[in-house]
Amino acid sequence: MASRAARLRDIYDSLQNADARAAVTSELIALLDKIPAGLADRVLSSALEVKTRHSSIPQLDLPSRKREIECILDHISRDSKYSLVNPERSRRNELFNEAAQTLLSWLQDIWRVVYEHSTQYETAHRCLVFAAESLVKLCESRGAGCKCPLNIPINVSIEKESGEVVKTFAFTGLSNIDHVILWVWRDLFVSMLVSSPSAAQAQIPQMLVDIEDVLTWQGLEWLLYGGQRYLSESSDDDLFGSIMGLGFASDTCLEDDDDELLDEVDTDGDRRCSCNLHASHWSDELDNERHTVREMVQDHLFKVFRTDPSVELYTSLKNIHAERDSVTDEVYEILADVQTYSSDNLVAALEIYSEECDADQIIELLEEYGHLLRPRDAQAHQRAVVTLLSQCDDEYEATAVRIIEQELSDTVRAVHASLRGCFSGIDEQANKDELDKIHKLRSASAQRQTRVLQWVEDVVTPSSSSPPNPIQFVAMMMGMPTPGGDNDGDADPFMYVDVDDDDMADLREAYRPGLKERFGGWVDAAGPLRTKVAQGLLMRVFKKVVEEMPFFRCVDVVDEMMEHMADNPTTSHIVDALECLSSFCKLQRKTILMRNEKAKRAKAKMSNNKAAAQASTSTAGESAGSTAATGSNGAGVAGTSSQNDRDELDSPPPLIPIDLPASSSASAPPNGTATTSSPTSATSPASATASGSFPSLPIFMPTWLPGRTTTNPFTPGGIEDVD
């Protein structure tokens, strides 16, 4: 059983400052007069010593600091309004500098209270929360104009009361003051764990919640690194040092057992490595508490992951955890429960499984819950499909091909639907018939250009604006405003908002969907497929594009449509999508032409080889018949025939048929005139043998020439004009 003193200490640590002070003043002070004088003097001496030690403690004074910083924020807000009318009267630079110096001097006082005096932890925490909130407001209230006031250079040194410099920060930009805030917060936690362990275990988890509310969960990971963004830096005092050596130091310093690490003392007396998990001014006792802080942060991040999973948070957990395999196991258990709760959770699960190359989990999710994915989730979807293709499995490949083709077809339909808002007549049959006639016209001809311009004008959606009435026209000529006179149909809804803001994701998908990125990403996802499979897939998509939007057969029509929408900012995403689809169709047409040309050459070569084989067979038969008919003439004639056959085989075949002269036994024409022979009048081998003459040679197609065509390529129409 714990002693009374230990029990009283635990109770005292669990009380708030006001309650603890009331307990001491109401009960304990009265006991001093009832205890022996020597013991009472010891208590008074200890109290006097504490008072002397904390006589120089800075006053945090949170209410006064709040009023001061809020006053500066009000002046900044008022100045932003003045600067719209008269920019020369703006004092933004001075106001932002004053706000930065106020925050930094306050952070210096907070650090001395929690580290040197080891007291007022709760008050210091509330001060740090307010400082972080004020920093966020400063960064969001830059007003009109450039961001130059936010990019002021900042140099600050954290010093002890003795004047010794503990830490130096040098950076540019007000937003980086959070480095200093998180560095002070980390010292607050380790100091609190050493001086008041029980109170720290009870209060730090709620403090982590407060930090997450202001600086998001990423601020908790950066807190472990002392405000830095990486685990390892080249120097503890260098804010933007190199991040080399990111792995070795982290694995060693994340372990709970520091005995081996503490035995490795450098010659300069520094016991620890230079990674950002440590601080050079910490004692060994404080340095050991970094593990407790890490475990608390780790537990809190797992709670955050259960409610809002993401691959970034998963990576952060692996970075700060001593055993990465256990992180993966625990994350998988959480995902098994929450991955189908929403589309965001499903995307996070797919990204994590892709990170771990877990194809089985990916295909299970895509088969059962793929309908939960939204068009704006295409990037995670594509990465998951590429992971399936990397496994070199036929079943995975078949599923990936089906998904890629389906998503490409959906994107094509989305482009078609977006185009109908600008070109409402593209699906009318009369316009389609006219497009077929334009396609048959010669490319770049004047007639075609005129009809292309007329076709685009015919399919354009009519404007909703009507001509002004006479009174509105007179008012417009006099410069007077006319109500409802302007057409806001072309107004850009994203002109005054940050389109890259995550909170605008739904509106961005509704008004500016990334059609180009979606289509290009899915085409790239088909890259790991086998060549024949990929070509067949893309060819089917190409036919789908031409079937739904026939104008993609005519490059000049697509170019004219893009030119018509180029000046409208609300249709820039449609122009990008048209350009992407046009490039895709050009590539597929070129592939078709190359494939057809290759097939023609292969067919011509096969025909030539077949003709050469038939000619060789015919020549061999004719030579055999001639030898049998003239065998009685002796070996000399046979030798001459064999020599002639070898000469015929060694020399290239002639392009023009040549008739050999008749033998001496053949009778000349009676009238003494010469006779001519043509390929059509050549005698057959049988008749030639009967008459005693040599057979005429057959016509040879030269095998060393490319395939011949009946059409002269140099005449009009000989080569197809392809865009």
- Kindly state whether residues 200 and 280 are assigned to the same domain: yes
The mean-pLDDT minimum among 100-104, 167-171, 462-466, 634-638 falls in: 634-638
SS3 category, 178: helix
Q: Among 540, 517, 516, which residue's Cα sits nearest to residue 529?
A: 540
Residue 218 located in a structural domain: yes
- Kindly state whether residues 158 and 23 are assigned to the same domain: no
- Kindly state whether residues 38 and 186 are assigned to the same domain: no
71-85, 387-401, 473-487: which is most confident: 387-401
The mean-pLDDT minimum among 176-190, 418-432, 479-493, 564-578 falls in: 479-493
Displacement of CA 668 from its chain's centroid (Å): 90
Query: What pLDDT is recorded for position 551?
Result: 94
The pTM is what?
A: 0.73
Q: Among 507, 519, 510, which residue's Cα sits nearest to residue 577?
A: 519
Does residue 582 have a pLDDT over 80? yes
Q: How many residues does the chain have?
A: 723
Who wins on pLDDT, 408 or 232? 408
Query: What pLDDT is recorded for position 274?
Result: 61
Positive or negative, the Cα torsion across 255, 259, 264, 267? positive
Query: What pLDDT is recorded for position 89?
Result: 78
Residue 327 located in a structural domain: no
Helix (H) or strand (E) holding 171: strand 165-172
Ramachandran sector of residue 309 (left: φ over 0; alpha: ψ -120 to 50; beta: rest): beta
CA-based angle 337:343:347, to the nearest 5? 80
Contact 227, 279 (CB under 8 A): no
| Cα(399)–Cα(395) distance, integer angstroms | 6
Q: Are strands 153-159 and 165-172 parallel, antiparallel or unpaired?
A: antiparallel
Q: What is the mean pLDDT of residues 711-722?
A: 36
Contact 54, 119 (CB under 8 A): yes
The pLDDT-based confidence of 443 (bands split at 50, 70, 90) is confident
24 lies in which domain range? Answer: 19-48
The mean-pLDDT minimum among 86-95, 374-383, 656-665 falls in: 656-665
- Kindly state whether residues 44 and 158 are assigned to the same domain: no
Residue 279 located in a structural domain: yes
| Cα(14)–Cα(610) distance, integer angstroms | 100
The pLDDT-based confidence of 278 (bands split at 50, 70, 90) is confident
Q: What is the mean pLDDT of residues 338-362?
A: 95
Residue 287 located in a structural domain: yes
- Kindly state whether residues 254 and 107 are assigned to the same domain: yes
Query: What pLDDT is recorded for position 291?
Result: 92
- Kindly state whether residues 176 and 275 are assigned to the same domain: yes
Query: What pLDDT is recorded for position 241?
Result: 33
Q: Which residues of 122-148 are buried (b: 16+ CB within 10 A; e: fewer)?
A: ebbbebbbbbbebbeebbebbbeeeee
Residue 413 located in a structural domain: no
- Kindly state whether residues 40 and 119 are assigned to the same domain: no
Q: List for the chain the helix, strand, coil content (%; round to 5).
A: 65, 0, 30
Displacement of CA 56 from its chain's centroid (Å): 54
Positive or negative, the Cα torsion across 527, 528, 531, 533? negative
Strand partners, 155: 170
Joined together, the tokens standing for residue 14 give 């669990």
Strand partners, 168: 157
Who wins on pLDDT, 2 or 564? 564
Query: What pLDDT is recorded for position 679?
Result: 38
Displacement of CA 51 from its chain's centroid (Å): 59
- The CB density around residue 151, as the number of other CB atoms within 10 Å, is 13
Does residue 110 have a pLDDT over 90? yes
Positive or negative, the Cα torsion across 691, 692, 694, 698? positive
Instruction: Give 652-689 pLDDT, tens digit per residue.
Output: 444 333 333 333 333 344 444 443 334 333 434 333 33
Who wins on pLDDT, 229 or 520? 520
**Total number of domains constituting the chain:** 2
Contact 694, 633 (CB under 8 A): no
- Kindly state whether residues 42 and 159 are assigned to the same domain: no
Instruction: Give 585-601 pLDDT, tens digit per residue.
Output: 999 999 999 989 999 99
Strand partners, 156: 169
Q: What is the mean pLDDT of the chain?
A: 78
Query: What pLDDT is recorded for position 718?
Result: 35
Who wins on pLDDT, 83 or 305? 305
Does residue 198 have a pLDDT over 70? yes
The pLDDT-based confidence of 189 (bands split at 50, 70, 90) is very high
Query: What pLDDT is recorded for position 366?
Result: 95
The pLDDT-based confidence of 317 (bands split at 50, 70, 90) is very high
Ramachandran sector of residue 706 (left: φ over 0; alpha: ψ -120 to 50; beta: rest): beta
| Cα(3)–Cα(9) distance, integer angstroms | 10
Does residue 264 have a pLDDT over 50? no
Query: What pLDDT is recorded for position 561?
Result: 94
Joined together, the tokens standing for residue 596 give 């057809």
Residue 175 located in a structural domain: yes
Query: Maximum Cα–Cα distance for the chain, whole Å?
Result: 167
- Kindly state whether residues 189 and 42 are assigned to the same domain: no
SS3 category, 279: coil
The pLDDT-based confidence of 483 (bands split at 50, 70, 90) is low
Q: What is the mean pLDDT of residues 455-460?
A: 93
Query: What pLDDT is recorded for position 504?
Result: 76
Residue 171 located in a structural domain: yes
294-308, 647-661, 679-693: which is most confident: 294-308
In the numeric block, the tokens 């635990």 are attached to 10
Q: Which residues of 2-13 are buried (b: 16+ CB within 10 A; e: fewer)?
A: eeeeeeeeeebb
Displacement of CA 610 from its chain's centroid (Å): 55
Joined together, the tokens standing for residue 373 give 């994915």
Query: What pLDDT is recorded for position 387?
Result: 95
Q: Please count the CA atoms within 13 angstroms of the CA of 425 that sit on its side-chain side.
A: 16
- Kindly state whether residues 109 and 182 are assigned to the same domain: yes
The pLDDT-based confidence of 511 (bands split at 50, 70, 90) is confident
Which amino acid does the sequence have at 635? A
Query: What pLDDT is recorded for position 20?
Result: 67
Joined together, the tokens standing for residue 651 give 């020399």
| Cα(255)–Cα(252) distance, integer angstroms | 6
- Kindly state whether residues 43 and 104 are assigned to the same domain: no
Query: What pLDDT is recorded for position 87?
Result: 74
Residue 623 located in a structural domain: no
The mean-pLDDT minimum among 227-231, 472-476, 536-540 falls in: 472-476
Which residues 6+ apart lie within 8 Å of 516 measured at CB?
573, 576, 577, 579, 580
How far is residue 167 from each of residues 293, 427, 541, 640, measured CA to CA in Å?
A: 21, 70, 61, 108
The pLDDT-based confidence of 45 (bands split at 50, 70, 90) is confident
- Kindly state whether residues 223 and 122 are assigned to the same domain: yes
| Orientation angle between helical segments 62-85 and 121-140, nearest 10 degrees | 0
Does residue 649 have a pLDDT over 60? no
Does residue 19 have a pLDDT over 70? no
Query: What pLDDT is recorded for position 643?
Result: 46
The mean-pLDDT minimum among 139-153, 317-331, 673-687 falls in: 673-687
The mean-pLDDT minimum among 46-60, 253-267, 354-368 falls in: 253-267
| Cα(561)–Cα(416) distance, integer angstroms | 13
Which amino acid does the sequence have at 670? P
Does residue 713 have a pLDDT over 90? no
pLDDT-above-90 percentage for the chain: 49
In the numeric block, the tokens 């256990």 are attached to 326
Query: What pLDDT is recorded for position 535?
Result: 92
Rg (CA), the chain: 44
